[in-house]
């Protein structure tokens, strides 16, 4: 069994339920587990003793979209693609990811998947939950190959062919309930527990307005039978709220899920920005987790404030959604946007935000072996180089991390005791080649006539 010793000028530990920042500590790894945290240098096969680094539990990004983010990248800024609909979900993302998968080869799909996994690792994440089109199973292959801890969440739709018309009205065709659930079951049988249990599945009905009551009930029943997390988009736009109220006797999206039995402590609900205060109280009473992704909404002129959900008593985590997989940058945005929204500086504190992508994220997916640096835990670490000029000098490493750091400061990423990122670079393959191949495959989608039409302002 290989042993490794990692030195940290600062190390975030948790023992007996108490979190603390320890100075000048060594983290000893044996195989895929943390063996000890010591003040003295331990004997080890491999030693990493670079000073000035902040060693964190592996960061967890539990809401991310590699494929759709790449399709939209640089096209939907400054309001492009929104037309008369407030969201690009129906005008750009759903139609173009569907069309793209119809024209791409397996090799091209794998290239896109590798590009996404590369960005996630370089962004500092060790564990990711990735909802994606179920026509892209290569996401599992890429995660297994490149060493990420991966909760694949292939979408389930009642209709996968949802399109927004010129007036913003969304129309639906066909029914995909049975086919999508069958696909999910096949992927679960193949991948659950693969790669030393790094690969697992989450149940991911797409959203309240794209899934029928029968599909949502079936998803919840199957997920609870298997003990896998459930994640969905909830109240991500006012249009969704209006659609659900019209369809389901005036219920809000949160009330709709509660009526169906999904609003529970095993549900991770993404965004929730159009939820009322009463909705948030209901969600908190049910123990539902909110996945807050502030930057993707900020670029559309909307605030998605971590502090609002936290103040309502909700377990609130932070994910990157369809932005650029920079989890440290997302934490900075969560802090800033919450402070601006509340008009106060003392909300969305640094310690709470770091816990939102470590300890509390692990608890939300019922993984007591993740999210903390302590003996017996999985050896997942995110190591931040605090020696950069824009981080020096500093007094408090957590406040510095949240206020000033970004993905450029990610020095080392270790998953299951194996180094995936070293010196800020992926060590498993050529980054430039992965990037070139993935970008070329996305370019084929951009060349489609429907893509050029969708990207119009």
pLDDT digits (tens, 9 = 90+) for 101-129: 899 999 999 999 999 999 999 999 999 99
Token pair belonging to 294: 């502030």
> Is 169's pLDDT higher than 60?
no
Cα separation, 255 vs 270, in Å, equals 15
pLDDT, tens digit, for every residue of 172-222?
555 678 999 999 999 999 999 999 999 999 999 999 998 999 999 999 999
- Give pLDDT, residue 293: 97
Cα separation, 405 vs 383, in Å, equals 12
> Is 334's pLDDT higher than 60?
yes
- Give pLDDT, residue 98: 87
Residue whose token pair is 């790894």: 29
CB 296 within 8 A of CB 322: yes
Give me the domains of the chain, ranges plus CATH numbers: 3-57+381-426 (2.30.40.10), 59-73+119-364 (3.20.20.140)
Question: What mean pLDDT do residues 341-357 have?
Answer: 97
- Give pLDDT, residue 75: 78
> Is 160's pLDDT higher than 90?
no
> Is 86's pLDDT higher than 80?
no
> Is 164's pLDDT higher than 70?
no
Using pLDDT thresholds of 50, 70 and 90, give the confidence band for residue 167: low
pLDDT, tens digit, for every residue of 33-83?
999 999 999 999 999 999 999 999 999 999 999 998 888 888 777 877 666
Token pair belonging to 408: 């450029």
Nearest to 239 by CA among 314, 181, 168, 339: 168
> Is 1's pLDDT higher than 90?
no
Residue 270 CB neighbours (<10 A): 26
Share of the chain above pLDDT 90, in %: 81
Token pair belonging to 206: 């797409």
Q: How far is CA 321 from the centre of its chain?
A: 6
Cα separation, 59 vs 124, in Å, equals 6
Using pLDDT thresholds of 50, 70 and 90, give the confidence band for residue 367: very high
- Give pLDDT, residue 161: 61
Cα separation, 200 vs 327, in Å, equals 21
| Residue spans of beta strands (DSSP E) within 333-435 | 381-385, 410-415, 418-422, 425-426
Torsion, Cα 393 396 397 399, to 10 degrees, reads: -110
- Give pLDDT, residue 197: 97
- Give pLDDT, residue 49: 94
> Dihedral of CA 217/219/223/226: which sign?
positive
* Sequence-separated (6 or more) residues with CB below 8 Å from residue 75: 81, 92, 446, 455
> Is 13's pLDDT higher than 60?
yes
| Among 38-47, 145-154, 170-179, 336-345, the least confident range | 170-179
Token pair belonging to 295: 């930057």
pLDDT, tens digit, for every residue of 415-428?
999 999 999 999 99
Using pLDDT thresholds of 50, 70 and 90, give the confidence band for residue 311: very high
- Give pLDDT, residue 170: 56
| Residue spans of beta strands (DSSP E) within 250-404 | 267-271, 289-292, 315-318, 381-385
- Give pLDDT, residue 76: 75
**167 or 64, greater pLDDT:** 64
Average pLDDT value over all residues in the chain = 93
Question: What mean pLDDT do residues 136-159 have?
Answer: 95
- Give pLDDT, residue 254: 98
Cα separation, 133 vs 153, in Å, equals 9
Cα separation, 93 vs 334, in Å, equals 24
pTM of the model as a whole: 0.94
């Amino acid at each position: 069994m290989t042993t490794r010793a990692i030195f940290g000028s600062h190390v975030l530990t948790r023992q007996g339920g108490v979190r603390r920042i320890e100075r000048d500590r060594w983290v000893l790894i044996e195989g895929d587990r943390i063996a000890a945290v010591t003040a003295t240098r331990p004997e080890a096969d491999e030693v990493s003793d670079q000073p000035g680094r902040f060693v964190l539990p592996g960061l967890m990004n539990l809401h991310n979209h590699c494929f759709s983010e790449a399709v939209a990248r640089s096209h939907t800024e400054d309001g492009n693609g929104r037309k008369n609909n407030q969201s690009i979900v129906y005008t750009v993302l759903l139609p173009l990811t569907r069309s793209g998968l119809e024209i791409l080869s397996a090799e091209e799909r794998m290239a896109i998947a590798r590009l996404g996994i590369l960005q996630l690792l370089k962004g500092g994440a060790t564990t990711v939950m990735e909802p994606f089109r179920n026509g892209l199973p290569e996401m599992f292959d890429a995660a297994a190959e490149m060493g990420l801890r991966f909760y694949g969440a292939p979408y389930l739709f009642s209709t996968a062919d949802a399109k927004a018309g010129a007036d913003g009205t969304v129309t639906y065709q066909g029914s995909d309930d049975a086919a999508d659930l069958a696909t999910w079951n096949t992927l679960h049988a193949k991948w659950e527990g693969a790669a030393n249990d790094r690969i697992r599945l989450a149940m991911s009905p797409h959203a309240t307005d794209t899934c029928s009551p029968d599909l949502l009930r079936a998803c919840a029943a199957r997920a609870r039978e298997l003990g896998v997390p459930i994640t969905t988009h909830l109240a991500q736009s006012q249009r969704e709220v209006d659609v659900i109220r019209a369809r389901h006797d005036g219920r809000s999206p949160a009330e709709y899920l509660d009526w169906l039995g999904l609003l529970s402590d095993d549900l991770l609900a993404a965004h929730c920005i159009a939820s009322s205060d009463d909705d948030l109280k209901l969600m908190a009473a049910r123990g539902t987790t909110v996945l807050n992704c502030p930057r993707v909404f900020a670029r559309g002129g909307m605030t998605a404030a971590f502090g609002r959900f936290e103040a309502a008593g909700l377990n609130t985590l932070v994910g990157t959604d369809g932005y650029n997989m920079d989890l440290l940058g997302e934490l900075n945005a969560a802090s800033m946007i919450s402070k601006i929204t509340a008009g106060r500086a003392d909300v969305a504190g640094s310690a709470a935000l770091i816990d939102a992508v470590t300890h509390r994220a692990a608890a939300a997916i019922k993984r007591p072996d993740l999210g903390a640096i302590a003996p017996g835990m999985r050896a997942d670490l995110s190591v931040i180089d605090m020696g950069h000029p824009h981080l020096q000098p500093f007094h408090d490493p957590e406040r510095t991390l949240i206020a000033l750091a970004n993905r450029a400061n990610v020095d080392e990423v270790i998953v299951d005791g194996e180094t995936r990122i070293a010196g800020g670079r992926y060590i498993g393959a050529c980054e430039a080649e992965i990037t070139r191949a993935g970008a070329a495959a996305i370019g084929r989608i951009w060349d489609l006539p429907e893509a050029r039409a969708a990207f119009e302002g």
